[in-house]
Amino acid sequence: MSKIGIFFAPKGGSTEKVAKKIQAQLPDADLHCVADIEISEMLKYDKLILGIATIGKETWDQDYKKSGWDLKLPVVENTDFSGKTVALFGLGDSVTYGLNFVDAMGILGRTIKKQGGKLVGFTDTKDYNFTESQAIENDQFMGLPIDEDFEDEKTNERITQWIKELNDSML
């Protein structure tokens, strides 16, 4: 079994908290904040778990720039991810931002796919209340959405279930 790299941003909030919970269930996995590394670091792993928070479009320029992914996304867009198996998780708020729920996970997922990565860990939408999301493909979320703002009581179970399914497709 090759090692898994977990890469997340931003630092210091719910995305980091969830990344640590995921690592706790995959003790062999390494954990990195995207803001602290070069994208080339990701290429050391064949199995990647990438975490990203969605910060709304209207504040994208101000807030998203601080996250780490904004600086690295142009590099991801020019990196070859073929041979990599990639699972995504996305932090969002399904109540306040129900029209853009976890959009950033979709933006990242499509970029990785375009660059040759194989996405795994899709999630059924039926357990979520939202209106629209750019993170949907074939009626499924392209990774695991987590809503720490309004559904934090569901987080642990969602992670456990997701990792159970990842065990078949990735680990």
Ligand X SMILES: Cc1cc2nc3c(=O)[nH]c(=O)nc-3n(C[C@H](O)[C@H](O)[C@H](O)COP(=O)(O)O)c2cc1C
- Give the CA angle between residues 93, 159, 10 to the nearest 5°: 50
Q: How many residues make contact with ligand X (CB under 6 A)?
A: 20
Q: Least distance from C-beta 104 to ligand X, angstroms?
A: 8
- Burial string for 83-119 (b: 16+ CB within 10 Å, else e) reads ebbbbbbbbbbbeebeebbbbbbbbbbebbeebebeb
Check binding of 15 to ligand X (CB under 6 A).
yes
Tokens 């493909």 correspond to: 137
CB of 116 to ligand X, least distance (A): 27
Return the residue of 34, 72, 81, 100 that touches ligand X, per CB under 6 A: 100
Q: Which is nearer to ligand X, 98 or 115 (CB)?
A: 98
56 is a contact residue toward ligand X (CB under 6 A): yes
The CA R_g of the chain, rounded to the nearest whole Å, is 14
- The answer to whether residue 101 forms part of the interface with ligand X (CB under 6 A) is yes
Tell which one of 10, 68, 106, 117 touches ligand X (CB under 6 A): 10
CB of 78 to ligand X, least distance (A): 26
For 92-104, the DSSP string reads --TTTTTTSTTHH
Of residues 79, 77, 31, 26, the one with CA closest to residue 51: 31
For residue 137, how many C-alpha atoms fall within 13 Å in the half-sphere facing its CB?
A: 16
85 binds ligand X (CB under 6 A): no
| CB closer to ligand X, 85 vs 100 | 100
Other C-beta atoms lying within 10 Å of the C-beta of residue 36: 11
Q: How far is the CB of 109 from ligand X (least distance, A)?
A: 14
Site residues (CB under 6 A) for ligand X?
A: 10, 13-15, 53-56, 59, 63, 91-93, 97, 100-103, 148-149
